[in-house]
Amino acid sequence: IRDEQSGYNKNLFCIPKHYEEDLERVFIPHGLILDRTERLARDIMQDMGSHHIVALCVLKGGYKFFADLLDHIKALNQNGDKSVPITVDFVRIKSYC
């Protein structure tokens, strides 16, 4: 996505009523985020080879992305010709202490 891209008209998307007044445009559509997340999962599986994967989620803001990424990694792990062990853990960080 280029810096000068102005985004997409919000009328092209189903926006919940309570957000309509707050949004001007949609810069990154959900489908594009999901596609890039799947590509990242493929890259991770390729780069890791047969090594054990340790996935660490930073709560709370990263949970949704983390869950989507792990879903793609698990699908690739189950449907691929090799299976690697995956360990999942979580850490909570306070930024204003």
Digit-coded pLDDT (tens) for 37-78:
999 999 999 998 888 999 999 887 888 999 999 999 999 988
pLDDT, the chain, mean: 88
Residue 25 β-bridge partners: 9
Q: Mean pLDDT throughout 12-26?
A: 90
DSSP SS3 for 79:
helix
Contact 34, 8 (CB under 8 A): no
CB-based burial label for 48 (10 Å; 0-12, 13-18, 19+): middle
Q: Which domains does the chain have, with CATH numbers?
A: 8-92 (3.40.50.2020)
